[in-house]
Structure 1
Amino acid sequence: MNLEAYLEANEKEHLQQLFNLLRFPSISALSAHKNDVLACAEFIKNHLANLGFENAELLPTKGNPVVYADWLHAPGQPTVLVYGHYDVQPVDPLPLWTTPPFEPEIRDGRIFARGATDDKGQTFLHFKALEALFQTEGKLPVNIKFCIEGEEEIGSAHLPDFLEKNAERFQADVLLISDTGMIAPGRPTICYGLRGLVAFELHVETAKRDLHSGEHGGGVPNAIHALAELIASFHDAEGRITVDGFHDQVTSVTAEELQAFRDLGHDDEAYRTSLGLPALHGEPGFSTLERLWVRPTLEVNGIYGGFQGEGTKTVIPREAHAKLTCRIVPDQTPEHIYQTIERHIEKHTPKGARVTLTRQDSGRPYVTPFHHPAIQWAAKAYEKAYGVEATFTRGGGSIPIVETFDRLLHIPVVLMGFGLPDENMHAPDENFALENFRLGTRTLAYYYQGLPDALK
């Protein structure tokens, strides 16, 4: 049986295996799911061992374990390090899910579940591609190492230290990751750059307790008002970030790269309509793709405070909170961004309020030259599976650990993603297209098959 026939004959079983993986509520951000995270890691370890990979184990970190396994029986051939993550985002708001987030279901040609596209579904494609090669050829054309972590959704806080201490174990010739996306259905895409991440929380306090809005209204500060005023100070009316020094480290994009963006034929109106927006909004003077890929951002992700229940409660809240993240671009650093935010808050704290800034996740941006043979071969593998040429783009999201791998291992990073823009990553009704489940598995199998010749 050849590779394509094997994958077609076993597709139903492979989907059931993926569903079993998706059923784990491995939410790394919530301590209540610690045991679910560990159970998910154990499931992947056992699955890799059953496929024929050796040395399958859970490597401890200061947080959630890393799943490791290898197959190193292709002497003289390249070694590929496959990175992915088994943790997922929280599911809130739960009422917006059509079906329960951890009960996978196929509807309209898509797999619906938390983690379907980010990143269990995409990581699972590697397992099945390599399984197909094992079963049809009796061996693998390359050496393989896995590094599947459980804290990507909370910034991979413990992985850099772990990798520095275990760099020799993970040494390879190529790092291969499927945790990015395609620009449209049927348009395979290789991502050669990622924005970095800076996350923080704002805590605003005023009085020592909530106050009666009749007895004290008009004479005391309101924590929510203060928070809203502070948040509003981060941007001007047109969408520019107004934090002094925020853009100091931003590197200009080359004219060649900007022309490549224009050649993609991005349709602003189609993009707006697909998101159900009355209008697009962003930093003046830049195209939508520039705003999404090569310009930094400062976004409010959540805000809370005061009375949230049904009906009315006439209080002046004593505290209010907001969660914010920045996407940063070369050559910005998390440290510099934190410092500019701190200075801005000191300068703009409203009268009568006390503001505390709490630092959270961070990760550096990453850009790689896309002329390396390992990356160019990825384009050929996509073309063989999808029948069209692959597109090279930057990505607006973040995989914080990519820059760390680059710095420690000094190997090319190949980002072969199969997600689509409308798959609700991080949102209710997350999903993954069955077409990309099928073609993605084949693409990766072709990539592994041809990589030795590509690197000669």
Structure 2
Amino acid sequence: MTDDRLKPVLDRIDDEMPAAQERLMEFLRIQSISTDPEYKGDTRRAAEWLAKDIEGLGLDEAGLRDTPGHPMVVGHGGPDGGAHLLFYGHYDVQPVDPLNLWDRDPFDPAIEETENGPVIRGRGASDDKGQLMTFVEACRAWVAVHGALPCRLTFFFEGEEESGSPSLIPFLEANREELQADVALICDTGMAAPGVPSIATQLRGMLKDEFTLHGPKLDLHSGHYGGPALNPLREISKIVASFHDETGRVAVEGFYEGVEEVPAELLAQWEDIGIDESAYLGHAGMSVAHGEAGYSALVQQWARPTLEINGMWGGYTGVGSKTVIPAEAHCKLTCRLVGQQDPAALRRAVRAHVEARLPQDASVEWKGELDGAPAAVFDTTRPEFTGAREALTEEWERDAVFTAMGGSIPVAGYFRQVLGMESMLIGFASEDDRIHSPNEKYDVAAFHRGTRSWARILAALSK
């Protein structure tokens, strides 16, 4: 990608990297732990710092927007008439516990040398302050060199991502028109493997459910009723075992409706990433993949649906023994969804599967309507995806890949549901960044090349 506007911007980023790192350090020192009321003032201070920082980009407006929780930071700027991009990140961070496992004060960030190169160590370095600032610094370089942003930009920063985003949907709904853009750019993600630039284009959805299997009307003495009594723990174990067949395939009728195979071209990109499946499994103490037969661990994680049992309990679980047949047993489960799977239809199918297997004298109670969200699959034929991929390829000197994510980033779904807007998820975090854990870090190279990458993407998308 040759663009006469771009080279001086990249040179500016290189020259100003020490100053950019110091700005990030200042941001990281603010203890914006959104989930703990003790840090409410600090979280607001982080929002104020960020709003003031982006004011320097020559925006038409930038400031805090109060919510029932922590404030949003919103800014608008750049020329009208061309592309309009919305950039999203979050300025809040996870709690630091357990503090004794940190090698330094988590809010006293520093650059440390490691065997893999220098890293920025501190809470929020990767998730998400460092990632967020790569975009801000790219914009700062554009304004310094050219006197203006390359296209119309909306900056949208949240302060509750790490505490469930309770204010996000109401804010999107109340400000739907103001937040409209051609596409959203989301930085809260990472690279598929070291040095492999990635655009996440698929996110698995989520379905949660919980049920209680009721049997006898009270706990029973196993000496008096052992044998003739219905044991809810035994029956719930049979039901749970029936969720999968011997190949690991989910045996719930209709479960795979809306699931498609990975296209050959996309699968080829994934195979070229160079992920070591043995190392991935070995990290968790496993030697083989235990999921759906016939699919690699990567495809199982990114592109196949799951039904997982997250908890099962009942009866006496205290110290010692109690000879009891419990009156009830409990199960929590979640499904990861892909493709066009419908959470509501899937919930009905899972519940029907359970209810069809209840023995006489047993009943089931479901715990309300828990969370359910469809998978997000983005349209990679859009020119924004092509331009961003070419820009990343040029910066990292290897083909960028369209990837998927085994987890969910809810904001991407909310942008689609509320704003009708597609998203591109581009970030430069590494698998070993220890996000949410002690000793979180962000590679200095990721911060530097991530900033250069956003400059290239802005050049591509602003044409």
TM-score by length of 2: 0.79
| Aligned partner (choices 147, 158, 165) of residue 149 of structure 1 | 158
The offset of 1:189, in angstroms, is: 0.9
Paired residues for 1:186-265 under 5 Å: 186-203=195-212, 228-265=237-274
Report the equivalent of 2:177.
Answer: 168
SS, match of residue 367 in structure 2: strand
Report the equivalent of 2:446.
Answer: 436
Please, which moves more after superposition, 100-109 or 280-289?
100-109
Asked if the contact 2:269–2:401 (Cα under 8 Å) also holds between the matched residues in 1, the reply is no
| CA 1:139–1:339: 2 relative to 1, 3 Å | same
SS, match of residue 360 in structure 1: coil
Distance 2:397 2:171 in 1: 40
Q: Determine whether 1:43 maps to 2:51.
A: no
Distance 2:99 2:217 in 1: 35
| CA 1:80–1:339: 2 relative to 1, 3 Å | same
SS, match of residue 13 in structure 1: helix
Report the equivalent of 2:88.
Answer: 83
SS, match of residue 409 in structure 2: coil
Q: Determine whether 1:56 maps to 2:38.
A: no
The offset of 1:164, in angstroms, is: 3.5
SS, match of residue 80 in structure 1: strand
Q: What number of residue pairs does the alignment pair up? A: 443
Letter in 2 for 1:369: D
Asked if the contact 1:372–1:412 (Cα under 8 Å) also holds between the matched residues in 2, the reply is no
Distance 2:79 2:259 in 1: 43
The offset of 1:409, in angstroms, is: 4.2
Distance 1:229 1:95 in 2: 42
Q: Determine whether 1:388 maps to 2:398.
A: yes
SS, match of residue 180 in structure 1: coil
Distance 1:121 1:260 in 2: 27
Paired residues for 1:25-36 under 5 Å: 25-27=33-35, 33-34=36-37, 36=39
Asked if the contact 1:101–1:429 (Cα under 8 Å) also holds between the matched residues in 2, the reply is no
- Deviation track 1:38-71 (CA, whole Å, cap 9, x = no partner) reads 75255224422233153312243xx645613213
- Deviation track 1:237-288 (CA, whole Å, cap 9, x = no partner) reads 4322122221122234334333443444544334333443222221012233
SS, match of residue 29 in structure 2: helix
Asked if the contact 1:363–1:398 (Cα under 8 Å) also holds between the matched residues in 2, the reply is no
Among all aligned residue pairs of Structure 1 and Structure 2, give the percentage whose two residues are the same amino acid: 35
Distance 2:393 2:369 in 1: 43
The offset of 1:327, in angstroms, is: 1.5
| CA 1:141–1:112: 2 relative to 1, 3 Å | same
Report the equivalent of 2:79.
Answer: 74
Distance 2:219 2:188 in 1: 45
SS, match of residue 183 in structure 1: coil
Asked if the contact 2:388–2:460 (Cα under 8 Å) also holds between the matched residues in 1, the reply is no
Which structure has the larger Rg? 2
Letter in 1 for 2:185: L
Paired residues for 1:377-416 under 5 Å: 377-416=387-426
The offset of 1:101, in angstroms, is: 9.8
Asked if the contact 2:93–2:128 (Cα under 8 Å) also holds between the matched residues in 1, the reply is yes
Report the equivalent of 1:30.
Answer: none
Asked if the contact 1:363–1:401 (Cα under 8 Å) also holds between the matched residues in 2, the reply is no
Report the equivalent of 1:24.
Answer: 32
| CA 1:442–1:305: 2 relative to 1, 3 Å | farther
Distance 2:363 2:104 in 1: 41
Give the unaligned 5+ runs of structure 1. 28-32
Distance 1:118 1:344 in 2: 39
SS, match of residue 338 in structure 1: helix
Give the unaligned 5+ runs of structure 2. 1-7
Please, which moves more after superposition, 237-246 or 51-60?
51-60
| CA 1:177–1:151: 2 relative to 1, 3 Å | same
- Deviation track 1:361-387 (CA, whole Å, cap 9, x = no partner) reads 332222223243322222233234333
Letter in 2 for 1:383: T
Distance 2:228 2:167 in 1: 47
| Aligned partner (choices 311, 330, 337) of residue 346 of structure 2 | 337
- Deviation track 1:346-374 (CA, whole Å, cap 9, x = no partner) reads 23457656443343333222222324332
CA RMSD, 1 decimal: 3.9
